[in-house]
Amino acid sequence: MNNFLPTAYFRKQFVPFEDANISIATHALHYGTGAFGGLRGLPDPADPNQILLFRLDRHAARLSSSAKLLNYDLPADKIQMTIEEFVRKNQPQQPFYIRPFVYTSDLGIAPRLHNIEKDFMVYGIPLGDYLSPDGVTCRISSWARQEDRSLPLRGKISGAYITSSLAKTEAVESGFDEAILLNSQGKVSEASGMNIFLVRDGKLISPGFDQDILEGITRDSVLTIARDLGIPIVERPVDKSEMFIADELFLSGTAAKVTPIKQVEIYHLPKERPITDKIRETLTAVTENREPKYQDWVFKVRLD
């Protein structure tokens, strides 16, 4: 059982987490008609009265887009202000993860997104590493990543996570740590909750937006950091066999940060990972506000 940050935002107000409860008849629970965000924060190592939130504006914008896809008008600045207030109310003392969520809160039956009450809520948990920073083993899932013609992949739509859940459990129950999903064209798409990168011949390769990926904010940060480090970047379709012979492979995500992959199916990756290590170190420094160049990625919330 996780422990939670003490205060949640629920039905337009801040309440103790224990009091933020929904009915068993809640529409979204039955139809997956919700969408969520996920962002990390930590107390500023240089100032205990300040909390650092990584790319709050991008996370708020993505959730606002997800809400729009669910027929819910929720401006990004409203999301951003609520999250800032959520942090001030909770005063977290250790690294944490914030889960903002929009959902159909009505108690009616019948799948739809019109004529239905919706709500926006926020809660948080303390969170250290989600995957082992030493590297994970991956299985290629028998489940394919969905296509945009059946579900809007630009949003983090709750219902879509049935595929992630099936894939993750299939991987773990068969002895692997994580799942990599191919898209309906048989090309590499992403992992259960992370984007994927390969390094081949000094180039950083990642499946692009046309490969049914989530538009990951960590992925965008990794690409920018790599470009600034002078590493050539290629966004293109990737075949599964390219992963087996890659020089380096890693996952990126808010929860996973940059996590190296040490094995895919029966194929082991080299133990030396100079590019992954460099990008991971830089990203860590950025999130801790130690890289002046990326200062505007780090939102500061004063606690005093």
Binding site for ligand PMP (CB under 6 A): 38, 156, 164, 190, 193-195, 214, 216-219, 252-254
For residue 269, the SS3 value is coil
Q: How far apart are CA 91 and CA 159, in angstroms?
A: 32
Minimum gap (Å) between residue 250 Cβ and ligand PMP:
12
Minimum gap (Å) between residue 238 Cβ and ligand PMP:
15
Minimum gap (Å) between residue 109 Cβ and ligand PMP:
28
Minimum gap (Å) between residue 121 Cβ and ligand PMP:
17
> Which token pair is 63?
């959730």
> Which of residues 82 and 163 has its CB atom nearest to ligand PMP in the complex?
163
> Which token pair is 285?
């420094």
> Which of residues 80 and 254 has its CB atom nearest to ligand PMP in the complex?
254
Phi, psi of 246 (to 5 degrees): -65, 155
User: Which of 7, 11, 13, 2 has the alpha carbon at shortest distance from 91?
Assistant: 7
> Which of residues 27 and 40 has its CB atom nearest to ligand PMP in the complex?
40
> Which of residues 91 and 284 has its CB atom nearest to ligand PMP in the complex?
284
> Which of residues 116 and 140 has its CB atom nearest to ligand PMP in the complex?
140
Minimum gap (Å) between residue 61 Cβ and ligand PMP:
11
> Which of residues 92 and 253 has its CB atom nearest to ligand PMP in the complex?
253
Minimum gap (Å) between residue 201 Cβ and ligand PMP:
25
Minimum gap (Å) between residue 266 Cβ and ligand PMP:
25
Contacts of 104 (CB under 8 A, 6+ apart): 26, 27, 28, 31, 33, 34, 70, 113, 116, 117, 118
- Give me the helices (H) in the chain, please: 27-31, 56-69, 76-90, 161-173, 217-228, 240-244, 274-287
> Which of residues 117 and 147 has its CB atom nearest to ligand PMP in the complex?
147
Q: How far apart are CA 210 and CA 200, in angstroms?
A: 21
Check if the beta carbon of residue 293 is closer than 8 Å to that of residue 299.
no
Please say whether the dihedral angle defined by the alpha carbons of residues 278, 279, 285 and 286, taken in this order, is positive or negative.
Answer: positive
Pairing mode, strands 178-182 and 136-140: parallel
